[in-house]
Structure 1
Amino acid sequence: MSSTGQAHTICIWTVGDEAVLAVNYYDLTVDDAKTWTEVSNGFVPMEQKYREPDRWHAELFGQETAAYRMVHWNQRGDRIAHRTASSVRKAPRDEFYWIIVPERGAYSIRYGDEIMQAAPGSVMVTGFDEVCLKHVPTSSAYALQVPRAEIDHRVKPSGRLRLVLDMNSGLGRVAKDMIRSAHAEKSNLSDREFNAICERISELLCMLSLGDVHPQQAHLPEAVEAIRRYVRENVGVGDLRLPAVAHTLGWSPRKLRLVLQQSGTTYRDVRQDETLRAARDMLENPARDAMSIRQVAVRSGFTPTWFSAAFKARYGETPGEFRRRRLAELAYQRVPQIGA
């Protein structure tokens, strides 16, 4: 990737012991509009116009294999990109779709009289093989390029595929978390691992587009983790009754029960397990104003007697024994050791 003007390539290298098993990733900081146009046109050629080209600043973080490409950008300034008939003829780019996940700012595209817009909490799936006008304000977003055939054979669109999907459902959140995790672990992934993650993301989004939010067997671990994470994060502060959790995750109560049943557990067991984990974390607080064991029990939805019995059955010691042991261990760690 070339850089001119104020563009600086911070790092470009290959991860992996063998070139064939490598994920290429790069970080780029650009402080002038001309260089950003060159960078952007390396993905999809367009005519770029900037509101304040002299004050332009953007950061691009990317990773790619022969099959997939994922980028994350932070952009300071507004721009409009025109995909003209000439650019479409010269570079059709009709072999893939872009999955765009805004984190800050609304991303919009106009196709003739049709306008698509994706804001934080949603995702846009579209191609750039036709004339369009794209508006990208000051923003931060992820974009994943996937082979078109991979989505078309699942969704079977009658024409050009253009989707805006709500990412606030259970599977939507899982897909968004996977995108963030793949980006965060870019230096630790082989091409096979990166490709597997990207393929799974596209499968989840296809399920959302078809209204099929019942996870297939391959997706059960992610679905169960979404349930567990929600319970864990809402102990003592949210409604953890099964219907409320199912509604928040975008499922019906029946589907939530079925997901857990297929994973060999029940919602009752998941709720108790995650509640006890949260309670254990509360008991580890060494602060003088830490909650009493009774307060921890009440916040966790237990009676004190039942809490003690359930905690001992799960961890092999009573809440009181656990707290005393952890406090002693913390105190020992703070004492300077001889010879240290």
Structure 2
Amino acid sequence: MSVAEPYFVGRVDTGAVLPRESADLWAEHVGRNQGTLQCRFASPSSFRGAMAVQRYAGYQLIDFWSDSIVYSRSRADIRRDGDEGLRVMIATDGEVRLRQDDATAQVLPGYGAVVTKTRPVDFGQPLAARGWVMNVPAGALPLEVGAGPALIDLREGLGAVVSGLISELGEQRATVDGPEFAAACDTIIDLLRLCLRRRAAMPTVLATVDTAVRDHVLRHADDPDLTPIEIARSLGWSLRQVQLALHHTGTTPSELIRGARLDRAHRRLRESPSDRTVAEIAYASGFRSLSAFGSAFKARFGVTPQDVRPR
């Protein structure tokens, strides 16, 4: 059995290098944490920034501060790394601007926004700013295709709870371990999903179908016989309606089922006793093929199922 991936906590501060080296240092670490993208510095020779990174088993949370900068992810960048994940951007000081699908969102303190890495995106700061960036697996949050960044109000209600959890998780980065960090991220993602569902006061038919399908999948993902056709039949809609509703939020029935099963397997791998095998967990999570499970798990989380097991 391979050794579990260690829980990583790190810090980068451009003040530790010469001013002429600060932009290169920042671009290197941003690319390492966020994948392929381009950095445009307002003043490369005097740029200053710092980030604190927490990472474990495909989950990542970054507390950052930096001078003015713009990050751009093009279609060529998307083809180069194939990252299909989501990013949650939360401003705590200053302003962050996001642009995707020809729509622009101004993220001020007290707000957050979600974008996908499957389509070109620009995000940056006209002035110095501070905030959080959280990596979220593809399909874990409902996003309306073509509608641009999805804004979330974090000033009150459930949004304030999410904001508090993220801040506290960052504050406790040195005292939590890997499985605890991942479990906290799971909870935050679940709450963010609820925040996004509550954004529309009058849900459309497609939004209603999307919510019902996601709830059904969460309840029955362990069933290996769960298929898109079975979902449609159980809920009383046509398969086409189900496909359209999920397409509207950037996923498909099969991707949704696979994602839910992978999330469950991920949690079980972290929490199950060592005498429970990876195969047993895969089959208990709805997978029929161990090889297919291993490939899908590595594609989603960037590590193998064995790497997630406790030491």
Question: TM (normalized to structure 1)?
Answer: 0.52
The structure-2 alpha-carbon separation of the partners of 1:160 and 1:198, relative to structure 1 and needing over 3 Å to count, comes to farther
Higher Cα Rg, which structure:
1
State how 1:265-276 maps to structure 2 within 5 Å.
Answer: none
Q: Distance in 2 between the 1:148 and 1:160 partners?
A: 17
Count how many residue pairs are aligned between Structure 1 and Structure 2: 191
Q: Distance in 1 between the 2:187 and 2:148 partners?
A: 19
Match of 2:108 in 1: 119
The structure-2 alpha-carbon separation of the partners of 1:112 and 1:67, relative to structure 1 and needing over 3 Å to count, comes to closer
The runs of 5 or more residues in structure 1 that have no matched partner are 1-17, 214-340
Tell me which of 45, 51, 54 is aligned to 2:42: 51
Cα displacement string for residues 97-116 of structure 1 (whole angstroms, at most 9, x for unaligned residues): 11111111111122253112
Contact in 2 for aligned 1:101/1:124 (Cα 8 Å)? yes
The runs of 5 or more residues in structure 2 that have no matched partner are 16-21, 201-311
> How far is 1:33 from its partner?
0.8
Q: Distance in 1 between the 2:13 and 2:78 partners?
A: 28
SS in 2 for 1:54: helix
Match of 1:20 in 2: 4
2:125 pairs with 1:141: no
Cα displacement string for residues 114-161 of structure 1 (whole angstroms, at most 9, x for unaligned residues): 11221101011112222222222311101111212322xxx3745677
Contact in 2 for aligned 1:127/1:161 (Cα 8 Å)? no
AA of the residue aligned to 1:56? F
Q: Distance in 1 between the 2:74 and 2:143 partners?
A: 27
SS in 2 for 1:70: strand
Contact in 2 for aligned 1:23/1:186 (Cα 8 Å)? no
Kindly indicate whether structure 1 or structure 2 has the higher relative contact order, using CA contacts under 8 Å at least 6 residues apart. 2
Q: Distance in 2 between the 1:69 and 1:120 partners?
A: 21
Tell me which of 26, 37, 43 is aligned to 2:27: 37
> How far is 1:212 from its partner?
8.1
State how 1:68-217 maps to structure 2 within 5 Å.
Answer: 68-75=59-66, 77-94=67-84, 96-136=85-125, 137-151=127-141, 155=142, 157=144, 162-211=149-198
Q: Distance in 1 between the 2:167 and 2:190 partners?
A: 16
Tell me which of 51, 55, 58 is aligned to 1:64: 55
> How far is 1:26 from its partner?
0.4
Question: TM (normalized to structure 2)?
Answer: 0.57
Contact in 2 for aligned 1:111/1:132 (Cα 8 Å)? yes
Q: Distance in 1 between the 2:195 and 2:102 partners?
A: 26
SS in 2 for 1:173: helix
Q: Distance in 2 between the 1:132 and 1:157 partners?
A: 15
AA of the residue aligned to 1:195? A
Cα displacement string for residues 267-291 of structure 1 (whole angstroms, at most 9, x for unaligned residues): xxxxxxxxxxxxxxxxxxxxxxxxx
Q: Distance in 2 between the 1:162 and 1:51 partners?
A: 24
